[in-house]
Amino acid sequence: MKDAYKPINAIKEIFNYRELLISLISKTLNARYKGSFLGFLWTFINPIMQLIIYTLVFKYIFKVPEDNYAMFLFVALLPWTSFLSAVNGSLDSIIGSSSLVKKIYFPRLILPLSISLTFIIDYLYCIPILFIVMLAAKMKITLWLLLFPVILLIQFIYQTGLCFIFSSINVKFRDVRQIVIVATMAWLYLTPVLYKIEMIPDKYSFFGNIVNPRLWLGILNPMTGIINSYRDVFYYGSSPDFLFLGISCAAAVITLFIGYITFNYFERTFAEDL
């Protein structure tokens, strides 16, 4: 039994059950808009509506000093929406499949993993739109865009780790769901999605740079490095800040590992707790 907990065996097993992973993802993608009038278009309409609302509020009311605020926001909002939807969506991934979990064996990790992958794919669907808008806005497209898959991979690792943690704890303690939803709402404002991190005034730094909110947001919040890197390669066409991206990468791997251990711990009693 001990062998079953080695990550390499988990990966092998998930590979053996790849067909289940694929059909779960396509089931979620297909079933989501089944019977709706605009169907698949909703994948694009949601982020665009958010974009319009945030742009109106932050550009014209709060007057964020950014020339092309809509684009500035768009490149960050897409990955953030994917991240947020995955984390919130994973909360019910085990509970929602209780009839399966109680009756058939399959690697349970597949349930949150499929949610995480679904929203990564959702994000990828939006990338062609992003490019069209970027070309229309005559933004410069540089070779730094080649780093996009790397940043996406880091985001995927990080959000999958969180999905593992929350989906499994939520089986035992059902109010984790409420906590996570409130926390992710605050998280949006702790991450430079709507604003630039440089906009945090210097007067909130104390003791030189030791208590510098800009620095600590980058270290404590892995999403800062990820979102800033997306913005660097898409919006500024420049190199990402490799220090912060590296920190995010390390945090992502650690999160995935913690998620794996947490999941294994709670997985043993899934069939009884559901």
Q: Which chain residues interact with another protein by CB under 8 A? A: 1, 16-20, 22-23, 27, 31, 34, 97, 99-106, 173-176, 179, 268-269, 271-272
* Other Cβ atoms closer than 10 A to 46: 14
Closer Cβ to another protein, 30 or 209, answer by number: 30
Measured from the CB atom, the residue of 6 and 18 that comes closer to another protein is: 18
Handedness of CA 129, 132, 137, 138 (dihedral sign): positive
Cβ proximity to another protein, 162 vs 193, nearer residue: 162
What does the H/E/C string look like for 62-74? CCCCCCCHHHHHH
For residue 158, how many other CB atoms are within 10 A of its CB? Answer: 27
Q: How far is the CB of 114 from another protein (least distance, A)?
A: 11
Positive or negative torsion for Cα 213, 215, 221, 225: positive
Smallest gap from Cβ 110 to another protein, in A, equals 10
Q: CB 230 → another protein: shortest distance, Å?
A: 33
Report the residue number, 6 or 102, with the smaller CB distance to another protein: 102
DSSP 206: B
CB of 94 to another protein, least distance (A): 14
What is the C-alpha separation between 250 and 70, in angstroms, rounded? 31
